[in-house]
């Protein structure tokens, strides 16, 4: 009898965790939002665009699949993100579902003034992932970015998220930043936030049409373009090209890039490809003033040599290393000056000063923007050429001999 009662009690205790899914949602009742675009509204504060996947047109191998466009974009307005999202239900027959949202696109207008107002609802909502990628639409409406189609990827959102990671790995001029990363920079007293920019070039209206997918050469291109610099959660300006690469170098996020250097008076005839890079940033105090020291250790190989050069000579390799070091230092210094001009410590130098001298940081943190603008930064680069490719001399070096 006692065993029977014990078994019944155990069964009762397990009932809550063995019950059916109390909050289950049927897939046919959900609208999967893959990307969101936020622009400044005309009648309301925000115009919010929702890129919703059309599963039947994305799934390969299903009868009737792939006959239409892979996405549909719906737009609504509101004084808050929540209001705009709920008003969209007037236009969409399914419940908006954010668990698969991979991209948040914010226009420059919003980024300059109302950037922080849109993040509370996104971070507070348990369904919305804070690992969602964030980019700024540059000289382009966010709606245009989330509405554009892609030739190589079935889902347009994958073009942007993959492209950012690819250019971060291969070029080193953009950064993959999610909502958590951005908010971390906003609330930090010793570091500001930075986001990648995206721009539509060409005939923007063409990128929304089905005919866009039938062309080999497109009339419109959506591409990564620069780094957006923030101060106190507001967009202050942009850093582009080599200066943007310098930012990525300082943040120790360069996984691969290439550098053109001159040789014997000939401009940009050698190309050095980075295969490994490590950046160390430290701070010390001298005469009551903070000083930042940056050490970059870079290794790579020579991918092009479009001039007469003997790569078997160790002295030549050493000279190439010095030239590469000079070019990397130039890019890093130029990025520091660009950030100092905007008084935005996107490198986290303030955090280094805080660790090095907490008492000094307590005195200067309230005026850190101005302190950063005149901060002394020392940069040292050590570069090493590990390989010269499959040949030591250009194939054409003996043609005229």
CB atoms within 10 A of CB 82: 15
Would you state the structure tokens that stand for residue 201, as one six-digit string? 């070039």
Percent of residues, the chain, with pLDDT higher than 70? 85
**Is 296 in contact with 332 (CB distance < 8 Å)?**
yes
pLDDT in tens, 312-360: 888 999 999 999 999 999 999 999 999 999 999 999 999 999 999 999 9
Q: Of 250, 120, 228, which Cα lies nearest the Cα of 177?
A: 228
pTM, entire model: 0.86
Count CA within 13 A, CB hemisphere, residue 303: 14
CA 78 to chain CA centroid, nearest Å? 27
Could you tell me the domains of the chain? Answer: 28-239 (no CATH), 241-401 (3.30.300.210)
**Is 272 in contact with 261 (CB distance < 8 Å)?**
yes
| Average pLDDT for 189-216 | 80
Buried b (16+ CB within 10 A) or exposed e, 127-164: ebbeebbbbbbbebbbbbbbbbbbeeebbbbbbbbebb
pLDDT in tens, 245-259: 999 999 999 988 999
What pLDDT, on the 0 to 100 scale, is given for residue 94? 84
Q: Can you tell me which residue has the tokens 């050698």?
A: 270
Q: Which of 18-27, 50-59, 179-188, 386-395 has the lowest mean pLDDT?
A: 18-27
CA 325 to chain CA centroid, nearest Å? 26
| Banded pLDDT at 277 (limits 50, 70, 90) | very high
- The DSSP code for 225 is E
User: Is 208's pLDDT higher than 90?
Assistant: no
Percent of residues, the chain, with pLDDT higher than 90? 48
Query: What is the spatial distance between Cα 142 and Cα 222, in angstroms, rounded to a whole number?
Result: 12
Q: What are phi and psi of 189, to 5 degrees?
A: -90, -5
Query: What is the spatial distance between Cα 183 and Cα 393, in angstroms, rounded to a whole number?
Result: 51
What pLDDT, on the 0 to 100 scale, is given for residue 374? 94
Q: Which of 75-84, 89-98, 280-289 has the lowest mean pLDDT?
A: 89-98
What pLDDT, on the 0 to 100 scale, is given for residue 63? 40
Query: What is the spatial distance between Cα 346 and Cα 17, in angstroms, rounded to a whole number?
Result: 47
**Is 335 in contact with 344 (CB distance < 8 Å)?**
no
As a 3-state breakdown, the chain gives helix, strand, coil percent values, each rounded to 5, of 40, 30, 30
Q: Of 296, 293, 292, which Cα lies nearest the Cα of 368?
A: 292
């Amino acid at each position: 009898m006692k065993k029977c009662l014990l078994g019944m009690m155990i069964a009762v205790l397990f009932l809550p965790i063995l019950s059916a899914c109390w909050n289950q949602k049927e897939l046919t009742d959900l609208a999967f939002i893959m990307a969101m675009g936020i622009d400044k509204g005309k009648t309301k504060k925000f115009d919010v665009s929702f890129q919703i996947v059309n599963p039947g047109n994305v799934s390969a191998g299903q009868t009737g699949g792939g006959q239409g466009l892979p996405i549909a974009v719906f737009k609504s307005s509101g004084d808050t993100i929540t209001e705009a999202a709920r008003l969209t239900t007037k236009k969409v027959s399914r419940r908006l579902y954010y668990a698969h949202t991979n991209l948040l696109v914010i226009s420059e207008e919003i980024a300059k003034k109302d950037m922080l107002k849109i993040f509370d609802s996104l971070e507070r909502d348990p369904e919305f992932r804070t690992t969602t990628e964030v980019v700024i639409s540059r000289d382009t409406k966010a709606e245009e970015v989330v509405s554009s189609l892609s030739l190589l990827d079935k889902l347009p959102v994958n073009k942007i998220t993959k492209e950012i990671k690819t250019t971060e790995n291969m070029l080193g001029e953009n950064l993959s930043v999610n909502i958590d990363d951005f908010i971390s920079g906003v609330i930090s007293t010793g570091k500001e936030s930075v986001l990648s920019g995206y721009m539509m070039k060409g005939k923007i209206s063409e990128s929304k049409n089905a005919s866009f997918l039938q062309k080999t050469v497109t009339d419109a291109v959506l591409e990564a373009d620069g780094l957006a610099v923030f101060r106190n959660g507001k967009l202050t300006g942009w850093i582009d090209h080599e200066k943007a690469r310098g930012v990525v170098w300082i943040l120790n996020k360069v996984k691969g890039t290439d550098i053109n250097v001159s040789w014997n008076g000939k401009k940009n005839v050698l190309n050095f490809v980075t295969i490994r890079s490590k950046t160390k940033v430290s701070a010390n105090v001298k005469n009551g003033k903070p000083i930042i020291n940056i050490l970059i250790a870079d290794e790579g190989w020579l991918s092009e040599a479009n001039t007469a050069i003997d790569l078997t000579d160790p002295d030549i390799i050493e000279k190439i290393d010095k030239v590469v070091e000079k070019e990397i230092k130039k890019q890093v210094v130029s990025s520091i000056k660009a950030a100092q001009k905007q008084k935005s410590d996107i490198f986290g130098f303030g955090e280094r000063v805080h660790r090095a001298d907490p008492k000094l940081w307590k005195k200067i943190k309230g005026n850190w923007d101005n302190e950063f603008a005149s901060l002394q930064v020392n940069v040292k680069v050590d570069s090493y050429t590990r390989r010269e490719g499959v040949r030591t001399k250009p194939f054409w070096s003996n043609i005229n001999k």
